[in-house]
Amino acid sequence: MPDSITKVVKRNGQVVTFDKEKVVNAIFKAAQSVGGKDRRLAEILADKVVHQLALTKKPDALPSVEEIQDIIEKELIEAGHAKTAKAFILYRAAHAKLREGREQDHATSGNIPYKKIWQVLNWAIDHDCFSIKRINERIANGTYPQLVLEANEKYQADVKAAADKILARRGQVRIVIIAGPSSSGKTTTTIKLGEVLQQQGFELLAMNLDNYYFDLSHHPRDEFGDYDFETPEALDLALINQHLADLLAGKTIQMPRYNFKTGKREEQTDPLTLKDHQILLLDSLHGLYAPMTQSVPAEKKFKIYIESLCQIKNHDGEFLRWTDVRLLRRMVRDSWHRSYNPKQTLEHWHYVRRSEIRHIIPFVGTVDHIIDGSLAYELPVYKKHLFKYFPDFVKEYREDPKRQDAYIRAKRVHDMLAAFTQWDDESVIPKDALIREYIGGSIYKY
């Protein structure tokens, strides 16, 4: 038995004595959680872990706790102990989440019920896509197209679960609000929820509140000449409330049209009437913001929150940030749909995050249902569209003291995309998939 492993490096950098018994305990606890009772088997597997650790040990280098845990995971899977391996992976993920919770940037995600995050993580483990490494392996072994189908089915099931809750309040709910941060998938979710409810006999009426933006010329610019239209006050709240009240009263309104390419409302409006047998669907970044719909009684509203709750670890064992996934979505979409180049979107993102933290995340606890809008297969696709820009972003912002927020974000996203295997064939992605809202080619009109 190799005995060359005597020291190990903890996550905080502290060097401590290596104790094989801790490896045995970790394996046995995972096994116990799924009904295992053979400690001797855990000891045998621990010996294999130590042996593999010694074989892979680099000269004059000490193994880290993360490296040991990676080998435990690998040995469990290769030995055919799938249930124990899953329990161990979940254990690691839970503790990683606890560590992340102590970091300021992740504190704002605490309003998402942990049960929901746990469900998403559990699904990712079951479908072998909980890390960049595993997703790359699915590309390499030819099962990536199957992952596309699996992820789309998961999202569709989440939408149906929301629809079932609405159906349970049939006759009471008149307005369904679909809210969430930028590029979380609100528009596609609105369409798909409508499809599910229509199958149950409901007639639905969509009302996109993005049409209620004030003209950009009414908004102040910052020192970079950038507009801040991410706040709820960038929308005509008074007109929204008046129109909602009128619709519930059976009146016909004239809904404005907003042109994102010109930054102005168009002269033409669209008449809209909510009939007694219809439900109004509202798709809005700030749909949970109380003043947005204060003219509507609470019992007549059903509130849905959607977020990209991706549970994917990088090569360092850290979970990818939800906001980075949404940034890439918006960069792709803005480049072809809203006449914003990727650089402009990146530089504007600090407004997006500030508004989310102030005006969206605090209200998550008031919703009736949370939908996971993440797609385990999407990042290899975005690499094709966007990775080529990031080396220049990193270089440009590195020495600019006024753009350090953009530099930190650009460097982090650059490193994330660099780790993924690129996927080029978008024909494997269904035309009704949520990702089509961003990369184009959808059967839906946005």
Question: How does residue 73 score in pLDDT terms, banded at 50, 70 and 90?
Answer: confident
Residue with tokens 């590309």, as numbered in its chain: 139
The C-alpha atoms of residue 443 and residue 435 are separated, in whole angstroms, by 12
| pLDDT value for 102 | 45
Q: How far apart are CA 362 and CA 72, in angstroms?
A: 39
Query: What one-character DSSP code corresponds to residue 370?
Result: E
More confident residue, 187 or 14: 187
**Residues 140, 380 contacting (CB under 8 angstroms):** no
Burial (Cβ within 10 Å: 0-12, 13-18, ≥19) of residue 322? buried
The pLDDT-based confidence of 22 (bands split at 50, 70, 90) is: confident
Rounded CA-CA distance 326/310 in Å is: 10
- Of the ranges 88-102, 134-148, 392-406, which one carries the lowest mean pLDDT score? 88-102
* List of domains in the chain: 7-100 (no CATH), 132-439 (3.40.50.300)
The torsion region of residue 201 among left (phi > 0), alpha (psi -120 to 50) and beta comes to left
Q: What is the DSSP letter of 8?
A: E
Helices 20-32, 82-100: inter-axial angle, 10-degree rounding: 110
**pLDDT for the residue 19:** 86
Where are the alpha helices (H) located in 271-428, listed in sequence order?
322-337, 342-359, 378-386, 390-398, 404-419
Tell me how many degrees the CA angle 44-49-51 measures, rounded to the nearest 5: 95
| Other CB atoms within 10 Å distance of the CB of residue 221 | 10
In DSSP terms, 16 is beta-bridged to: 8
Instruction: Report the alpha-carbon distance of residue 88 to residue 26 in Å, rounded.
Output: 8
Q: What is the pLDDT of residues 334-373, one digit of tens each?
A: 877 666 789 989 988 988 888 888 888 888 988 999 999 9
Q: In this predicted model, what pLDDT tens digit does every residue of 375-400 receive, in sequence order?
A: 999 999 999 999 999 999 999 998 88
User: Considering only CA atoms, which of 296, 298, 165, 308 is closest in space to residue 243?
Assistant: 296
pLDDT at residue 225, as a whole number: 66
Six-digit token string for 293: 């719909």
- Cα 425 versus chain centre, distance: 23
Q: How far apart are CA 256 and CA 250, in angstroms?
A: 18
What is the spatial distance between Cα 93 and Cα 80, in angstroms, rounded to a whole number? 21
Matching residue, tokens 């007549």: 300
Instruction: Give me the pLDDT at residue 111, please.
Output: 76
Residue 77 tokens, joined: 């899977």
- Of the candidates 230, 262, 394, the one whose C-alpha atom is nearest the C-alpha of residue 326 is 230
3-state secondary structure of 231: coil
What average pLDDT does the segment 37-50 reach?
Answer: 89
For residue 133, what are the contacts with CB-CB under 8 A and spacing of at least 6? Answer: 315
Vertex 73: Cα angle to 423 and 31 (nearest 5):
135
38-47, 61-70, 170-179, 332-341: least confidently modelled range: 332-341
The encoded tokens of residue 268 equal: 């033409």
In 3D, which of 151, 112, 188 has the Cα closest to residue 356?
A: 112
Contact at 8 Å (CB) between 159 and 192?
A: yes
Which residues, listed in sequence order, are joined to residue 131 by a DSSP beta bridge?
A: 313
Q: Angle at Cα 315 formed by Cα 314 and Cα 321, nearest 5°?
A: 15
Nearest to 176 by CA among 292, 283, 274: 283
Q: Please give the span between the terminal C-alpha atoms of the chain, in angstroms, as a whole number.
A: 63
Strands 270-273 and 15-17, bridge-based pairing: unpaired
105 to 100, 323, 326: CA distances (angstroms): 9, 10, 15
2 to 75, 241, 424: CA distances (angstroms): 17, 72, 45
Instruction: Tokens for 5, please give them.
Output: 């492993």
Percent of the chain predicted with pLDDT > 70: 92
Beta bridge partners of 231: none
The CA-based dihedral angle spanning residues 15, 17, 20, 23, taken in that order and rounded to the nearest 10 degrees: -30
